[in-house]
Amino acid sequence: MATRTDWADGLNVKQLSEDSNVDVLFWVGCTAALEERNMNVAKAVAKVLQAAGVNFGILGTEESCCGEPARRIGNEYLFQMLAQQNIETLKGYGVKKIVTACPHGFNTIKNEYPQFGGSFEVWHHTAFIAELLKQGKIPLARVLDKKITYHDSCYLARYNDIYQEPRQILHAVTGASPAEMERRMSKTFCCGGGGGRMWMEEQIGTRMNQIRTEEALKTKAEVLASACPFCIQMFEDAIKALEAEGTLKAMDVAEIIAEAIE
């Protein structure tokens, strides 16, 4: 069973309990901290931040769920309890700026925590990395020869209007714009994991993750990029179900840029 810090083994990532002198808190999120596939995303974000010389740290075992799934499923009491507990921890360390690789956590901490007195400067990792690229702080060692299609996750795109930054990163590392799916940006199509559906079974019709993966396959891309841990998991399952492992690979935008740095 993974702990919240296993992913960071050997990466020299600061924990605020040991050293709270940081400019940025990396809010890892449950999926990236505890689920094996998405631990690679947490590692990639850390590597990119380190390559750019960002002074950051994590809460480690003091980080708990942001509460988003509880609120979406309808357990408002649990959500508020988690929100207040997290806000207290963040304020205790004097955290001002937060970067997270999860659009669900991003939306919750940025737009919902202020209702409970928790106002922070919150960045999604794609917007933060795009800004670092613009400032010339990320040393790209090579251009990746990959044909990529990009999936706009719901909480990043429709809810928070972050469309261009992930595409700017992909363009920077491949030298080409992503091969676009028909449903994109404000008209994007959910991966099937939002609104608490991550923990529920589809009982009727075609699974949404398979519908979306089939749309990605039509672009003839070899990588289906997203910037959300739920999306990555949904797409990995769909790629297996559609027996497309030899054709398509699901990757987070951070993993792609980390490859171009190494």
pLDDT of 241 reads 87
pLDDT of 202 strictly over 70: no
Q: For 213-231, what is each residue's pLDDT tens digit?
A: 888 789 998 999 999 998 9
What are the structural domains of the chain? 6-130 (3.40.50.1860), 141-261 (3.40.50)
Task: Determine contact, residues 180/149, Cβ cutoff 8 Å.
Answer: yes
pLDDT-derived band at 111, boundaries 50, 70, 90: very high
pTM: 0.92
Q: Quick one: pLDDT at residue 183? A: 79
Mean pLDDT, rounded, for 63-70 = 94
Residue among 89, 41, 97 at smallest CA distance from 67: 89
Across the beta sheet with 223-226, what order do the strands follow? 148-150, 223-226, 249-252
